[in-house]
Chain A
């Protein structure tokens, strides 16, 4: 499971059972969740139970696992339970058994067998579009829209250009959404980026798309849209084919309303507002997979250059060189890349195809204050390292890496975690049992055996575990 879909998974887990049940009516949604949200072990469990005629007793399930793998099993089962994919049942003789939720099982079978007439995988347009667009055009469009959004966030903070020229290509709806998600805040008509915004900008494109869409989902109710419809549409987009046009006649009212917003993000393309068809772009079809993302190191070129035939650099070509004396050279003419670099570098010189500068204590601590972590800076530098640098192992000079971490540590002396302190356990055995359970779920942050206390960052499952135990 990748970083991008784990965000979506976190969001999904918090949804109530009714929403899950409604979502699972659509085979495309079920297949998307199965394909990219579940950890591999959970997938195996679902697959094993899919065609099982009766429920699976908890004891039988335990025999499938080595005793050493208990924590893996608990984690998978707990995710499946949170998503209401697997239901725990208790029969008259107090035997626990697991069963797949009926709706989920039915929809997944339909998706696998291609049965039923649900049309949830989109319906290709029957008429041929006279202005059919190419895949290359779609890529260009998606990239342009998305980089405009990023540049809108970063550019004004760095003060590269005047703020009115910046937001020109970004729609009002998108701007409002960025504010709602607290990625940017505006003071005195000037937009500046926030801590969450930085994390956003430094992520991979697929993770960025999900972050923005999750904000969109959270505010769907206020816009008078049904959250379930929005989610099913997104999952459907993930299963469409790039370069094919799809008819809008099968979409619900909410989904028609979404088309305009998704166009603004560059996730779908429509030739005009009244068009009866839409094209998914690469951003859409990669929502539920990680293959073939738009390369992040591509270009938001200056106007003069963008009019030429765009020659795109091959994906994953790095352009940053860092020397042991903290000097940094970046072979780029992209304003977006330059503004990102200037968030944590003291840039001094700019040439037509190169900027140079230096990583200083001042520039790093400024970045840390704005909310960028040293790990984010290092991962950005590493993932965009110049091929020449990639011959070294590690790519960046170790002294520079250590120094950046030390600079951050000086500014940030405490580490905080929100959560719950569990205390007043009646017996040592009970304390140890709960601590072990919390550890196997991966929510245990701190424990002190002598004082019988532990700290967890999520409590809902712990409390249901305690309740279950007290009933016995």
Chain B
């Protein structure tokens, strides 16, 4: 029988997906319902905002922002 699962489809690069999986596994798998392929995961609809928030924090920690000060303003 065909099943329909409610959720939010997240499309991202493979690198971002790795981070999402990382966040999910460190927090008792609360976010991800199913990993679909290299670039897609299915996430619980209620949790998507929190997941995005955590991804932002993680990106900020891991990536050094290049210096963006404009010489001329």
Contact = CB atoms under 8 A, between A and B. Distances in A.
Nearest to B48: A416
Given A348-B73, A446-B40, A466-B2, A414 B34 contact: no
A459 B2 CA distance: 13
Contacts of A346: 73
B6 interface: yes
Contact of B7 (A348, A358, A421, A430): A421
B3 A422 contact: yes
Interface in B1-44: 1-13, 16, 20, 33-34, 36-37, 40, 42-43
Given A416-B9, A455-B9, A424 B2 contact: yes
Give the contact-size bracket for chain B. 20 to 34
A413 B9 contact: no
Contacts of A416: 8-11, 43, 48, 52
Given A362-B68, A413-B13, A414-B55, A421 B34 contact: yes
B50 interface: no
A422 B10 contact: no
A424 B12 contact: no
A446 B36 contact: yes
A445 B5 CA distance: 14
Contacts of A420: 4-7
Given A361-B68, A448-B36, A413 B4 contact: no
Interface residues of A, number: 32
A443 interface: no
B73 A358 contact: yes
B73 A422 contact: no
A421 B5 contact: yes
A417 interface: yes
A192 B63 CA distance: 31
A414 B10 contact: yes
Interface string A441-472: 00001101001010100010011001000000
B36 A413 contact: no
B4 to A, nearest CB: 4
A423 B73 contact: no
Interface of A: 346, 348, 358, 360-362, 413-426, 430, 434, 445-446, 448, 451, 453, 455, 459, 462-463, 466
Interface of B: 1-13, 16, 20, 33-34, 36-37, 40, 42-43, 45, 48, 52, 55, 59, 68, 70, 73
14 contacts: A348-B73, A362-B68, A413-B16, A414-B52, A416-B9, A416-B43, A416-B52, A418-B45, A419-B6, A420-B4, A420-B5, A421-B42, A426-B2, A455-B40
- 6 shortest interchain CB distances as A-B pairs: A415-B11, A414-B12, A421-B5, A420-B4, A417-B9, A424-B3
